[in-house]
Amino acid sequence: MNKIDKNNSFKVPDGYFDTLSANIMDKISKEETTMSPKEGFKVPEGYFDNLNTQILQKLENSPVETKVIPLKSYKKHFYAVASVAAVLLLFVVIQFNSNTTLSYSDLANSDIEQYFEFNDLELSSYDLAEILPINDMDLNDILENRLDNDNIIDYLDTHIEDFEDLNLHNDD
């Protein structure tokens, strides 16, 4: 508190509030005497005598149209509902206008491979051998990279020392 008192630059003289009301009343009385009669507003004589009847006559002659302003606007809700309805209508129209039917050729090879990888069809290798026509298949149909005869010969030359290990003879 001592810091506040030391830094406070506003000071009031002793006994200021004791004589304040008397000083204000003196100033008011001096202003009333110095005021000239020309100052202020002048009202014609008898103006307030028939003022009520004049106001009532004006109100009866002119019908008052009051404008009703709703407190809560429903425009925002209307626009939101209209936009949702438009989106739903557009969705329904697009669904019914699409007459294209999907076929097996429309599927991508990667989709088919992914289906077989992640779905267990409970087929054994013997079942697959019965289903797949082996006579019409080539080794290149199964492999992703095609094998050329030159590549096969180069591989055999580098990795096999004796050609008898290849077992090229059909001993059925």
Query: Rounded CA gap, 120 and 79, in Å?
Result: 51
- Characterise 14 by phi-psi region: left (phi > 0), alpha (psi -120 to 50), beta (else): beta
Percent of the chain at pLDDT above 70? 73
Q: Does the structure show a pLDDT above 80 at 171?
A: no
| pTM greater than the 0.75 cutoff | no
Q: What is the pLDDT of residues 81-129, one digit of tens each?
A: 999 999 999 998 888 777 677 676 767 777 877 887 788 777 777 887 7
Q: CA 50, 56, 57 angle in degrees (round to 5)?
A: 90
Q: Does the structure show a pLDDT above 60 at 4?
A: no
What is the predicted pLDDT for the residue at 88? Answer: 95
What is the predicted pLDDT for the residue at 167? Answer: 63
For residues 27-48, give the mean pLDDT.
Answer: 76
Q: What is the pLDDT of residues 126-163, one digit of tens each?
A: 887 777 767 777 766 666 666 778 888 888 888 877 76
**Domain spans in the chain, listed from the N-terminal domain onward:** 107-166
